[in-house]
Structure 1
Amino acid sequence: MKRNTSWIILLLLLIVLSTVCCQSPKPKVDSSVDRKWWKESILYQIYPQSFKDTDGDGFGDFKGVIEKLDYLESLGITMVWMNPFFESPLVDNGYDVSDYRAVHPRYGTMEDFDEMLAGMHERGIKFVLDVVANHSSVEHEWFKQSRSSRDNPYRDYYHWWPAEKGEPPFRHSLFDPEGAWEYDSLTNAYYLHYFAAAQPDLNWENPKVRQEVYDIMKFWAEKGVDGFRMDAFQFISKDTAFPVWPEGYEKDFAKYCGMGPDIHPYLKELYNEVLSKYDVFAVSEGVGTTFQDAHDLVDADRNELQMAYHFDYVSMSGTTDGYKLSEFKKIFSRWDSAFADKGWLAVFLSNHDNSRMVNRFGNSSPEFRTVSTQMLNTFILSMRGTPYTYYGDELGMTNIDMPTIEEYVDVSALGDYGKAKAQGKDMDEFMKQLNYYSRENARTPMQWDSTANAGFTTGIPWKKVNENYKEINVAAENKDPHSVLNHFRKMTRLRLDNLVFVYGDYQLLQAEHPDIYAFTRSLDDQKMLVLLNFSDHDSSIDLAEAKDIREIMINNYDDVTNENGNVTLKPYQAVIFELE
C-alpha cells in the first residue's frame, strides 16, 4: 500500500511540474513601471435603469445587478462604473441630484446597494461611483435655501446674478438653446446652469461647497467604493467676474467653460482631503483643450486626479458621414504618445452619452455586426490605458430606430431639437442625424434572452427594447463559441494574463494603410502584433514583423492568411500574434 501511494504522489508531482514548465512565462514588469490596480483593471459601465429589473416596474434596479453578478464575473471585467442612482427628480436621468447620500427608490435601498457592493467585492470586482459635483438638482435642499432669499446662508452655494445689474453676459448651456442663465423671480436674479435649467451649477469658489463635496465622497469611500468618476468636472471652476466671451466662442466653448482659474487648487485640495486617504482613484470627464491640460489634471506628481477621459475619438463619429480610419489612428496614436511616459488614459468607444459603438465605428448590418464588434472589442482591450466597455457592447447591441421626436425623452435630444428648430434647420435632416447620434440609442434595455422584453422586465420597460433582441442576447451568445460575447471573454482573459497590453510600448505600423490598423505592444521580452481590418472587404498588409510569428493569441475567424509577412485579413478580422 505504501509503495502504491508513493507512486501516486510521484506521478502527481510530475504532472504539476510538466504543467508549470509548459506554461508560457509571464512577462516581468520593470521596476520603473508605476503599477496600480486601476491601471490593470478592465472597466464595465452599467446604466442602472436599463440593466435588469426585478420588481416589474420597468426600470433596472440593484437587485437586478445582484442577480447578474455571476454574469459580470464571467466577463472577466474587474471594475464596474455605474451611472448615478442618487435621490433625484430625474430630469436628466439622475445627473440632477437632490440628495447625494440617499438612493432613489427606483433602484432599491441603501441595504440593497451594500449587498451589491459586497457581492462585487467577493468576486474581485471594484466599484466606481459617478459623482455629480458640478451641479445639483433644483430640488436639492441647498438650492431651495439658496433661492429663498438673497441673505440666506446657502445663497453662495450657487452662482447668482442680480437682475438690477441687467442681463448677465451670455454663457453656453449644453442642454438649453437659450443659454446658461435662468431668471428666478423669487429673488429677482439669474442662476447659472451649464446643463439643464433644473441643474444649477454649484459655486466651487465657496469653500463650504467644496467641503460638502469632500464629505460626500468620504461617505461613499467609507462604504467601500473604490473609485470616483467625476462628472463634468472640468467645468467646476468659474471666473466669477463673468467677462464677456468673444465672438466665435462656440467653436471652442470648452476653452471658455472649462479649466477655470482655480481648478488645480481645488483638485489638490480634493486629493489631500479624500483621494490620498483611501485606496481609490478618480477620473475626470473631460480634460480641457490641450495635452498639457490633461497632464496637469492626472500626472502622478501633481497629486490631483489619476486618469484622463477625453472625447476626441468619440466626437469624430458624431454624424452619419462617418469617419476616416486615418484620422482614427492619428487620434489614438497622438494621445498614446502624449501619455507614454506620464499620466494615464481611459480607452473607450462608447458610453451613455453616445450612440452604439458598432453603429459608429463598425458595421451593424447582420452580415458584419458580429465580426466588426469583435474587432472593436479587440482594439479597446489591446490598447494602453484602462479599457472601458459599455453594457451591451460585449454582445454587439445596436442603435434603435426612433425617427420621430415624440419618441424621445432625453433632455439633451429635446434641447438639440428646439435649437435646430429655432435656427430654421432642415428638420428632416436633423431627425436623421438625431436618430443616429442620440444618447437614447445607448440606453435601451439590456438584452438577456429571447423572451418578452428581452428578459429585462416582466412589466412595461421604461424604454422600448431593440427589435433585434431575439438574435442579440446573452442566452443565445453564451451557447455560441463564435459569438461577440465569448470573443469578449477571450480578450479580457488575454489582457489580464499579459501585462504587455497594460504597460507595453505602443508603435503604430503603416499609418496610411486605408483599411488596416496595425500596431505592436512591447514589454521587456514580450511583443504582440495587433492587426485589425476596419473594412467590409479582404485587405492585405506586408509587415516584416509578421514574419516572426510565435503564436496566434486571438482571432475572430477560424484562420488567417500569412505568406511570409504578407497578411490578408477578411472583413473586420482581428488577429493578435505573439512575436518571437
Structure 2
Amino acid sequence: MADKTWWKNAVGYQVYPRSFKDTNDDGVGDIRGIIEKLPYLKDLGVDFIWVNPIYKSPNVDNGYDISDYESIEPEFGTMDDFKELLSKAHALDIKIILDLVVNHTSDQHPWFLESKKGKDNPYRDYYLWADATEDKMPNDWKSFSGHSAWTYDKNSGQAYFHVFAAQQPDLNWKNPKVRQAIYKMIRWWLDLGIDGFRMDAISHIQKEPWDFKIKDNPWAPFMNVKGIDKYMTELRDIFNEYSVMTVGEASGVTSRKAINWTDPNRDGYINMIFQLEQNVQVGKPGEQRIQPLGFKKVLARWQRDLADGGWNALYVENHDNPRINTVLGNQTKQSAKAIAATYMLLRGTPFIYQGQELGMTNYPFTKPDQMDGLDMDIFKQIEQSGHSKEETMKIMSHWSRDNARTPMQWDDSKFAGFSDKTPWLAVNDNHQTINVEAEIQDSDSILNFYKKLIALRKSEKAFSDGSFELILDNDPSVFSYLRKDSEQTFLIISNLGEKSRNVTLPEKIVKHNWQVVLTNDETLQINKNLQVAPFAVTVFKKIN
C-alpha cells in the first residue's frame, strides 16, 4: 500500500520552467530542460518537484491564465515530453506535482469564449456575470491589481468578475457543471500518474454576495468566504482516492483556521498551506527588507497553531517574491546558509525555489525594458509624484517577482548555461561566481551546505515528527528553537541580523552537553552568555 503521508519526510523543489533550462535555443526554458537536470535534483536530495504551469496559455500571466487544462503550451514542449519527464522522474524516485489553477481560466478558454456569446449560452453561468453599465459596475470591489474587479461587456450589458487580470475571468464554483468539469480534469491528471497539486489561489473560489460591504480588508469578499467548505470537501474526497500531496496557496486562512484545513483528524481538505504572512517588510519603498523578528514570530505562531495535527509548507522563496538572500540576507554565503538552516529544520515540508540553493540574488534592474512584469501606469504615477527615473526604477524593481524569474545559473558562460541564445529575461552578472558548476567544486559552497542540510533533515526523525519549541522569543534577530522527539533533541541557533547579538540561554539548555552537527560558524559553542555573529547558524544535537 502506498504511503499516503510520504510528503512529511520529503523536501520539494520548485521549478519555474520558463527560467530553468532551455534545450531548443529559443530563450525560454522547457520540459526537456527539466528532464536534463533530473540528475542534478536527485544529487541535491529532493523528493518531489513542483512544476509551475505548463498548460496551454496566452501567457498574459506567465501560464496562470490557462486556455486548455489538458494540453501543454507548445513553447514548453509536448504531452509526450511531459510523460517522459514523469517517467524519468519516477525512475529516480522523484515525484511530480503540478499547479492546479481553478479559481479562474484564461479569457481564451473555450468555456469563456462561449460564455461571452450571450446570456442564453449554456456556458454563461460557468463564469460570474452581473448587470452593469459602462459607467457603473455591479459593485466597487477591487481586484488584486487595485483596479476594478469587473470588466464590462457592451454586447450583453453585463460585466464579468475577476480577482486577477481582466484576461483571467473567475469561474462560478456555485455551478455544479463547473465543478464536475474541474473534477473530471483533476482525475485526468491524477490518472496520468502525477503525484499531487499545488493549488493556486484556492481560498478565493467562493465569493460573498455582490452587495457585501467592505469594511477594512479590500479582498475580504473573496478570501476564505463562508461556503467554501463545500467545494474543498468535494476536492478532498477526490484527493483521498489517490496517494497524492496537496498544498494550497490560501491567503485569508489564518494560522488558527489552518489546522481545520490541514488536519485529517478534523477532516482537513489538503495536506498543507503556503501562508503569506512571513515576509514582514520594513523600510521605505525600494529599500524594504524582511524584519527578522516579524519573520520569526509569524513562523513560530504557525508552528504552534499547527502543532496538534496540522502541517506546514515551509518556504522562503517562490516565483512571486524577490530573492531571500537580498531582502533578508546580505547576499553572502553566510546569510544564505543561515536562512536555509533556520527554515528547513522547522516542522513541515520544506520547499526550495530554483537557484535558492545557490544563493541567487536580486537582479540590478536599471531600465523598464529589462523587466517582464512592469506596470508602466504605476511607473508613471511614481515618477510623477516627484521621483527620478532611477528612483522609480529602484522602487519598482526591488520587490518585483522578476527577481526570482531571471534564468537559473548553471555555469559561468555568457547566458549562464541556461541557453545558447538571449534568454527571455536577462541573466544576472554574478552568474560568473554564483553558479552550479562552481559551487559543486567548492566544499564550502551554499549548494553543498544545502546538500548536508537536506541529508541531516532526512536522517533524523525529530525534524519530521518532533515537537517545536521557540527559545529567546523576543530577541530581535536571533531565531532559536528546539526540535525534539522521544529519541533526540536538536537546538538551532541562528542570527538573521547584520549585527552580532549577545544572548542569555536558559538553564534548561546550558545544563546539557551539545554536539555541533552543522554550522557556518565554527566558533559557536553553548554557554550561558553567548555572542552570535551576524548570519551565523549552528545546529546542535543533545548528547547528555
Structure 2 match to 1:348: 315
TM-score after normalising by structure 1:
0.88
Q: Deviations over 1:118-141 (max 9, x none)?
A: 111111111111011000001100
Is 1:474 the equivalent of 2:420?
no
Is 1:284 the equivalent of 2:248?
yes
Structure 2 match to 1:464: 426
CA distance change for structure 1 residues 514 and 260 in 2, over 3 Å: closer, same or farther? closer
Structure 2 match to 1:199: 168
Aligned residues of 2:278 and 2:295 also touching (Cα < 8 A) = yes
CA shift at 1:268, angstroms? 0.7
CA shift at 1:219, angstroms? 0.8
* 463-472 or 275-284: bigger deviation: 275-284
Structure 1 match to 2:187: 218
Residue of 510, 515, 537 corresponding to 1:574:
537
Aligned residues of 1:61 and 1:107 also touching (Cα < 8 A) = yes
Structure 1 match to 2:40: 71
Structure 2 match to 1:153: 122
Aligned residues of 1:562 and 1:568 also touching (Cα < 8 A) = no
Distance (whole Å) between structure 2 residues aligned to residue 120 and residue 415 of structure 1: 43
Structure 2 match to 1:325: 292
Aligned residues of 2:27 and 2:423 also touching (Cα < 8 A) = yes
Aligned residues of 2:197 and 2:247 also touching (Cα < 8 A) = yes
Structure 1 match to 2:346: 383
Structure 1 match to 2:465: 503
Aligned residues of 1:79 and 1:128 also touching (Cα < 8 A) = yes
Distance (whole Å) between structure 1 residues aligned to residue 527 and residue 457 of structure 2: 27
Equivalent residue of 1:377, what SS? helix
Structure 1 match to 2:5: 36
Distance (whole Å) between structure 1 residues aligned to residue 484 and residue 17 of structure 2: 37
Aligned residues of 1:287 and 1:308 also touching (Cα < 8 A) = no
- The AA in structure 2 aligned to 1:445 is P
Q: Deviations over 1:424-473 (max 9, x none)?
A: 57576553232110000000000000112000001110100001100100
Structure 2 match to 1:103: 72
CA distance change for structure 1 residues 196 and 421 in 2, over 3 Å: closer, same or farther? farther
Residue of 279, 294, 303 corresponding to 1:336:
303
CA distance change for structure 1 residues 97 and 74 in 2, over 3 Å: closer, same or farther? same
Structure 1 match to 2:214: 246
Residue of 199, 220, 224 corresponding to 1:259:
224
Structure 2 regions of 5+ residues with no counterpart? none
Residue of 138, 158, 178 corresponding to 1:209:
178
Alignment of 1:123-202 (within 5 A): 123-163=92-132, 166-175=136-145, 177-202=146-171
TM-score after normalising by structure 2:
0.93
CA shift at 1:304, angstroms? 1.6
Residue of 475, 479, 488 corresponding to 1:517:
479
Structure 1 regions of 5+ residues with no counterpart? 1-33
- The AA in structure 1 aligned to 2:113 is K
CA shift at 1:421, angstroms? 7.0
CA shift at 1:286, angstroms? 1.6
Q: Deviations over 1:490-540 (max 9, x none)?
A: 000000101211221111111222332111111112100101122334434
Aligned residues of 2:372 and 2:425 also touching (Cα < 8 A) = no
Q: Deviations over 1:146-200 (max 9, x none)?
A: 001110110000011123695210121112x431100122323211111011100
Q: Deviations over 1:255-281 (max 9, x none)?
A: 322112321001111122x21211112
* 279-288 or 38-47: bigger deviation: 279-288
CA-based RMSD of the aligned residues comes to: 2.1
Is 1:299 the equivalent of 2:259?
no
Residue of 437, 455, 458 corresponding to 2:417:
455
Distance (whole Å) between structure 1 residues aligned to residue 477 and residue 204 of structure 2: 38
Equivalent residue of 2:335, what SS? helix
CA distance change for structure 1 residues 205 and 486 in 2, over 3 Å: closer, same or farther? same
- The AA in structure 2 aligned to 1:37 is W
Residue of 363, 369, 377 corresponding to 1:406:
369
Structure 2 match to 1:87: 56
Equivalent residue of 2:185, what SS? helix
User: How many equivalent residue pairs?
Assistant: 534
CA shift at 1:227, angstroms? 1.1
CA shift at 1:298, angstroms? 2.1
Identity %: 37
* 438-447 or 125-134: bigger deviation: 125-134
CA shift at 1:36, angstroms? 1.7
CA shift at 1:569, angstroms? 3.2
CA shift at 1:315, angstroms? 4.6
Structure 1 segments of 4+ aligned residues over 6 angstroms from their partners: none
CA shift at 1:415, angstroms? 6.6
CA distance change for structure 1 residues 167 and 564 in 2, over 3 Å: closer, same or farther? closer
Residue of 395, 408, 412 corresponding to 1:433:
395
